[in-house]
Amino acid sequence: MAADTPYLPPRLQLRSDRVAGLGYDPLQDPNLNGFLGSRRMYLHLRKQGLVTRDGEIVDRHRHEGWVRRKDRGEKLRKEVVNDVVEEVIDQRRR
């Protein structure tokens, strides 16, 4: 693939029904297709959970649920690490 050729996901589908009532959505803006169609941006959007492997835009509610579950998991991991560290410190004090 040439460096100047933008990467286009296999089936990027713009769905205007998802935008209705939600205000401006840059993922749905046809003027940003060149920018959002680059391979680098596609990989970034995939990592953020905004685009599926097939190139479809993820529903806003589904994405928000994914973010909440991810944050909850990170918070739980931090709590477990803190509990283990406190336990080790308490054992060394004895």
pLDDT in tens, 29-77: 888 888 888 889 889 988 888 888 888 888 877 878 888 888 898 899 9
What tens digit of pLDDT does each residue of 83-93 get?
999 999 999 98
Task: Using the predicted structure, report yes or no on whether residue 23 has a pLDDT greater than 80.
Answer: no
CB contact set of 42 (below 8 Å; sequence gap of 6+) = 7, 9, 36, 51, 55
DSSP 56: P
What local confidence, expressed as pLDDT, does residue 17 receive? Answer: 47
